Amino acid sequence: MDVIVESERDRRTLEWLIERAGCEAVGQACALLAGRRKPYVSNVAKALGLKPPVSLGSPTREEALVRLAELRRMLREPKA
């Protein structure tokens, strides 16, 4: 199964798709994508006829804290 996962949201959505449809169905959906559609998580969901809940797009508290720490570090670093 070669699903393109580009973000934490994609990872959560892929897990959701596998829970709902099963790993085999997700793999089959990837293989059957029409034309030049790449196996992005959103395309796989559409091929399966599933609409992931909006809540999957929201980061967990821990993920948000890590991202905030990264942004703070970037702001403190001197510019080149």
Of the candidates 36, 13, 14, 8, the one whose C-alpha atom is nearest the C-alpha of residue 27 is 14
Residue 47 maps to a domain = yes
| Number of domains present in the structure of the chain | 1
Entry pTM: 0.73
Residue 13 lies in a domain: yes
> Over the stretch 8-29, which tens digit does the pLDDT of each residue have?
899 999 999 999 999 999 999 9
Q: Is residue 1 part of a domain?
A: no
Q: Tokens 């998580």 appear where?
A: 41
- Which tens digits make up the pLDDT trace of 58-73? 888 888 899 899 999 9
Residue 33 lies in a domain: yes
Q: Is residue 3 part of a domain?
A: no
Structural domain of 26: 8-76
**Which of 57, 8, 75, 2 is CA-nearest to residue 32?**
2
User: From CA 60, how far away is CA 37, in angstroms rounded?
Assistant: 30
Whether the CB-CB separation of 45 and 13 falls below 8 Å is answered with: yes
DSSP state of 54: G
